[in-house]
Amino acid sequence: MKWYKKNNHYLLLSPALIFTVCLVGCGLIMAFLESIRAFESPSFDTYQELLAGETFITSLLYSLCIALFSTLISIIIGLLLVRSTFPVLKRLFPKLIAWTPMVFPHFVWGYMLFLLFSQSGYFSSLLNLIGLMDDKVNFPILFKDPFGIGIILTYVWKEVPFVILILMPVYEQLSRSQKELVYTLGGKSWDVFWHVERPYVFPVLYETFFIIFTFVVSAYEVPALLGATYPKMISVLTFDWFFGSDWTKQPDAFAAMILLTLMTVFIVFILFTLTKNRRIFLIQTNGENKEYSKAKKYEKLFFLLIAISTFLPLTLVFITSLTKKWEYGHLLPDFISTRGWHVLLVNSPQLQEAVLTSMGICILVLIINLLLGIPAAKGLAFYEFRGKSLIETILLTPILIPAIAIAMGVHLTFIRLGLANHWSGVALVHLLPTLPYTIKILRAGYERIGKQQEEVAISLGGHPLRIFQSVYLPQLMPSIRSLVFLVTVISLSQYFLTALIGGGAVTTMAILFFPYFKTADDSVIASFSILFAIIPIVIYLMVEVIFRLILPKQTR
Amino acid sequence: MKKGFILIFVIALFILSACSNSFDATKKAETLLNKNWSEIEKESMNKTVRMYMWGGDTGINQYIDEWVAPRLKSDHGITLKRVPMDAPEFLKKLANEKRADQDKGNMDIIWINGENFKNAKENGLLFGPFANKLPNVNKYVDTKDLNVQYDFGTEVENMEAPWGKVQFAYQYDEAKVTNPPQTFEELKTWVKDNPGKFTYPDPTDFTGNAFLRQLFYVSVGDVKNILDTGYDESYANKNSTYMWEYLNEIKPYLWRQGKTYPNDLTELDRLFSKGEVYLTMGYNEARAEKLIEKNIFPRTTKSFVMKSGSLGNTHFLAIPYNSPNKAGAMTTINFLLSPDAQLTKLQSTYWGENMSLDPNKLSKKDQQKLKSIDRGNSVLPAETLKQYLQPEVDAQYVTWLKENWIHEVVQKK
């Protein structure tokens, strides 16, 4: 009993930790064994060849550059937008609008931007229409260029909403009185940022930086769609090795991923160690609600900017989904038809099954996420202990490691456990890319509420579960809403993991519609993109309704 | 933490211990192949067959879902489930299952050819030999045809059954190109005269690689030189100078000055449909029909083949070693190779792709039906296609071209 009381945090953390260590562990071991050809003639030759070769190093540096730029730009824009609009963004609908780009998988968003900005895209067409440009060749090359502008553009557009999602709770927590104090003492806006906001914002920004950075470094779809022939991003290179016709190249793919993983995990671990102490004071708040000022004019202006950047691609993709023929240089389509929608909704006999399966898996993933994530988040938020940085890093590993690196080991294990080719296995494997976000968001939630309320409640004799239900749960609602949204989106867009673990026996939306993306049929792709985005919104609204029914009124 | 490491260790042992063979499954497979056909058909009654195939073409999907599946159900009591998945992905899945010794998988039929078949066959992922058991193969397929005996230089040995044949063709817009090039030399002149209006997909793509292979055939002089000897890297290195020089010579005149290439055929098709380039290409001589119908390609799209030859290949259906319903798979494949199913596949309503059956072996009635099928204006006459048909070479050349193209063309300034 004493040990339990003293080491409460270990108990809180262990479910999430054991899950992560098991899955990532067996995945990584398998990947490592493959990379040294452990089953034939073990050696480190693959690593030597990779590090000596020009292709790998060029790709690696190129990837790091693109990731660095995408991340920095996203964070700066995200920070500016949140600072200037957060009172508006606090409301449900503005928030949903700002988050909307997140409901589209990355490659879909990339495709939408391609429709807007490519040489024969909408803007080029508009310029031609108003007579500013006579040939589409004169439109600046933004996609498939050697500098990766299109890739960076897509990532920035997609990640800014994520930065907003992560930063919103922090800004809600900031003390207004401290800000006023700085102003009273003659400080400028910059001083407010530096002295009041920075201590709260920076620790969160560091983490956001690494989440986005590692994601961009190892993500495959966007560079595969929008990247140039040379140089290729490291993820595209490893994918070609992994899925290519030459199966002897597989060790190269695994070795490249192991190197990438080692690098990112190492950097993240160092970062966590360095910033560990900066977070401590976050939990010393007592959870008072801050007063909010009314929305000012420029806040609305910035919000308008967010709304435009969300709706512009959306509108275009919607029109494209109904387009039969659209000549270059015309403002609107020449002929419209519903063929794209027809193909998806009428000619897909498995559609109903796919929607239901996707929703079922999604809800299961949400529940397990909450069960594992809530205790772990509390453990990380309220306790200081030895090895905390290590545990934090381990819990984050699933999103630091490229999915194909661990997929093979996980698949082999799941086959043995009888989880492969079954929806339960798919749900479990979807925890990998979602659980780290859940823990992160809930942890921020717990920090915002603070530890003092629990101490008060315990001293008044409250039962732990009762305290959770009546003190923490209601206050965690904003965080839970964010994570419902994020987890749904991520789970739905998983293609590769679902295909491998589900083995075709589990037909989700992604499995059914991904193949259509490999056609030049714009109206089908556009319809698919919209349909794909509607599902997470429906699930989010469903969960919202459930919350409204079961929770007391004042906690909304 | 310690617990975690112990768990990892246990799991690692678990994975490592996966190296024993199971004899039961092999025995069962042997008995199935010794049965006669009516027994096999009977065994497959009221079962489900899961067919894994690339799912990116609505026409092909509809052919399976709307034409094949209902007929299989009524004729053979088989429920056919189509699973859309790319070949490299389902082969990865299958390879893992083999590794984990899973005797009972969930794939019954897979659609493969070329290097995918080579990998699958060499790694023991396939069940068979079964093709010679199928009545329709014995009755209608020309089993002496090299395109049926060899799949990209790999001997088929009845481990897969031919489903269809396609031939490489170029598509162009008649309204923009009046006199399409007939040889690679003419293409070079055309490309120089029309800068920025031609490109080819990255050879990691299936189509881009096929384009290169045809140039490679010209480069080695005669395809026979590489066909008979199998894969010979030093021969390829010595005889590829013409190809690399050719590609480097046209490079500055390509779309975007050859600084980048379309990643796959989809991108090239999109460029063609937007009028950024004037030529596109692809395996399947009738591919333009569907795209014209959907308004993706202009109505004035026509096709041509090069006088130096046009690649043709066969694609096949195979059965994974761990298929839970091998009898059903065989019955289904046999059905897909029936004249009725193949003639429907040829019509442009669904797919528009050539039969794998020998037209001469069909009944009089079916031959008549074959003659009456109009494949569309963009498709070349069968005689022209046949005249320039060339076989595929060893699948290892695919990889060789892919890798060397990067050094020889892309990285050369």
DSSP collapsed to 3 states, chain B: CHHHHHHHHHHHHHHHCCCCCCHHHHHHHHHHHHCCHHHHHHHCCCCEEEEEECCCCHHHHHHHHHHHHHHHHHHHCCEEEEEECCHHHHHHHHHHHHHCCCCCCCCCEEEECHHHHHHHHHCCCECCCCHHHCHHHHHHCCCCCHHHHEECCEECCCCEEEEEEEEEEEEEECCCCCCCCCCHHHHHHHHHHCCCCCCCCCCCCHHHHHHHHHHHHHHCCCCHHHHCCCCCHHHHHHCCHHHHHHHHHHHHHCHHHHCCCCCCHHHHHHHHHCCCCCEEEEECCCHHHHHHHCCCCCCCEEEECCCCCEEEEEEEEECECCCCCHHHHHHHHHHHCCHHHHHHHHCCCCCCCEECCCHHHCCHHHHHHHHHCCCCCCCCCHHHHHHCEECCCCCHHHHHHHHHHHHHHHCCC
pLDDT number for residue B21? 40
Q: Which helix (H) or strand (E) holds A323?
A: strand A323-325
| Ordered domains of chain B (ranges, CATH) | 24-164+313-378 (3.40.190.10), 167-312+389-410 (3.40.190.10)
Structural contact between residues A211 and A126, judged by C-beta atoms closer than 8 angstroms? no
pLDDT number for residue A179? 78
Burial of A295: CB neighbours in 10 Å, binned 0-12, 13-18, 19+: middle
Report the share of chain B in percent with pLDDT over 70.
93
Residue from the list B83, B276, B291 with its beta carbon closest to the beta carbon of A120? B276
Q: Tokens representing B199? A: 């490109």
Residue from the list B14, B115, B261 with its beta carbon closest to the beta carbon of A229? B261
Is the Cβ of A418 closer than 8 Å to some Cβ of chain B? no
pLDDT number for residue A535? 82
Residue from the list A141, A246, A518 with its beta carbon closest to the beta carbon of B399? A246
Is the Cβ of A228 closer than 8 Å to some Cβ of chain B? yes
Task: Say if the ipTM goes beyond 0.85.
Answer: yes
In the three-class reduction of DSSP (H, G, I as helix; E, B as strand; rest coil), residue A7 is classed as coil
Tell me the β-bridge partners of A365. Answer: none
pLDDT class of B67 with cuts at 50, 70, 90 = very high
Nearest residue in chain B measured CA to CA from A514: B56
- Cis bond leading into A231, ω under 30°? yes
- Please state, rounded to an integer, the average pLDDT across all residues of chain B: 90
Contacts of B118 in chain A (CB under 8 A): 245
DSSP collapsed to 3 states, B334-355: HHHCCHHHHHHHHCCCCCCCEE
Flag whether A5 is in a domain. no
Q: Tokens representing A124? A: 């080029």
pLDDT number for residue A553? 56
pLDDT number for residue A556? 44
Q: Tokens representing B255? A: 């779309």
Burial of A388: CB neighbours in 10 Å, binned 0-12, 13-18, 19+: middle
Flag whether A153 is in a domain. yes
* Pairing label, strands B154-155, B150-151: antiparallel
Q: How far apart are CA B358 and CA B141, in angstroms?
A: 5
Q: How far apart are CA B176 and CA B110, in angstroms?
A: 41
pLDDT number for residue B24? 58
Flag whether A382 is in a domain. yes
Domain extent, residue A492, equals 24-555
Contacts 24+ apart (CB under 8 A), A31-34: A31/A254, A31/A257, A31/A258, A31/A405, A31/A406, A31/A408, A31/A409, A32/A254, A32/A258, A33/B15, A34/A250, A34/A251, A34/A254, A34/A408
Q: How far is B242 from chain A (nearest CA, A)?
A: 22
> How far, in whole angstroms, is CA A338 from its chain's centroid?
32
Nearest residue in chain A measured CA to CA from B3: A18
B61 HSE (CA, 13 A, CB side): 19
CATH number at residue A153: 1.10.3720.10
Q: How far apart are CA B375 and CA A341, in angstroms?
A: 27
Block residue for tokens 């055309």: B190
Kindly give the interhelix angle for A403-417 and B87-99, rounded to the nearest 10 degrees: 50
Flag whether A17 is in a domain. no
Q: Is the pLDDT of residue B345 over 90?
A: yes
- DSSP annotation of A472 reads I
Structural contact between residues A504 and B50, judged by C-beta atoms closer than 8 angstroms? yes
In the three-class reduction of DSSP (H, G, I as helix; E, B as strand; rest coil), residue A37 is classed as coil
Structural contact between residues A482 and A441, judged by C-beta atoms closer than 8 angstroms? yes
pLDDT class of B19 with cuts at 50, 70, 90 = very low
Structural contact between residues B285 and B313, judged by C-beta atoms closer than 8 angstroms? no
Flag whether A550 is in a domain. yes
Radius of gyration of chain B (CA): 23
Q: Which of B105, B51, B36, B43 is nearest to B77 (CA)?
A: B43
Residues 6+ away with beta carbon under 8 Å from A458: A464, A467
Flag whether A16 is in a domain. no
pLDDT class of B18 with cuts at 50, 70, 90 = very low
With an 8 Å Cβ cutoff, are A518 and B411 in contact?
no
In this structure, the number of other CB atoms found within 10 A of the CB of residue A467 comes to: 17
Radius of gyration of chain A (CA): 24
pLDDT number for residue A430? 96
Q: Note which residues in 469-508 of chain A have CB less than 8 A from chain B.
A: 496, 499-500, 503-505, 507
Burial of B259: CB neighbours in 10 Å, binned 0-12, 13-18, 19+: middle
Report the share of chain B in percent with pLDDT over 90.
80
Cα distances (Å, whole numbers) of residue B285 to B168, B303, B346, B377: 6, 8, 11, 11
Is the Cβ of A172 closer than 8 Å to some Cβ of chain B? no
pLDDT number for residue A55? 86
**pLDDT, tens digit, for every residue of B143-157?**
999 889 999 989 999
What would the mean pLDDT of B130-141 be, rounded to a whole number? 96
Q: Is the pLDDT of residue B5 over 70?
A: no
Q: Note which residues in 197-236 of chain B have CB less than 8 A from chain A.
A: 202, 204
Q: How far is B147 from chain A (nearest CA, A)?
A: 20
Counted domains in chain A: 1
Contacts of B119 in chain A (CB under 8 A): 245, 247
pLDDT number for residue A451? 84
Nearest residue in chain B measured CA to CA from A148: B260
pLDDT number for residue A555? 47
Is the Cβ of B147 closer than 8 Å to some Cβ of chain A? no
Flag whether A171 is in a domain. yes
User: pTM of the predicted model, to two decimals?
Assistant: 0.89
pLDDT per residue, tens digit, chain A (556 aa), is: 444 556 678 889 999 999 999 999 989 998 999 899 877 788 898 999 999 988 899 999 999 999 999 999 999 999 999 988 887 887 878 888 888 898 888 888 999 999 999 998 999 999 999 988 888 888 999 998 889 999 999 999 999 999 998 888 778 777 677 778 888 888 888 888 888 888 888 878 888 898 899 889 988 889 988 999 888 999 999 988 988 888 888 899 999 999 998 888 888 888 777 776 666 666 655 555 454 555 566 788 888 989 999 999 999 999 999 998 888 888 899 899 998 898 888 887 888 899 899 989 999 999 999 999 999 999 998 888 888 888 988 998 898 888 888 888 899 999 989 999 999 999 999 999 999 999 988 988 888 788 888 888 888 888 888 888 888 888 888 888 888 888 998 998 888 899 999 999 999 988 888 888 878 888 988 998 898 888 888 888 888 888 788 766 554 4
Flag whether A370 is in a domain. yes
Residue from the list A325, A412, A516 with its beta carbon closest to the beta carbon of B100? A412
**pLDDT, tens digit, for every residue of B229-286?**
889 999 999 999 999 999 999 999 999 999 999 999 999 999 999 999 999 999 999 9
Phi and psi at residue A455, to the nearest 5°: -60, -45
Q: Is the pLDDT of residue B338 over 60?
A: yes
Residue from the list A246, A411, A519 with its beta carbon closest to the beta carbon of B266? A519
Give A292 or B162, the one with higher predicted confidence: B162
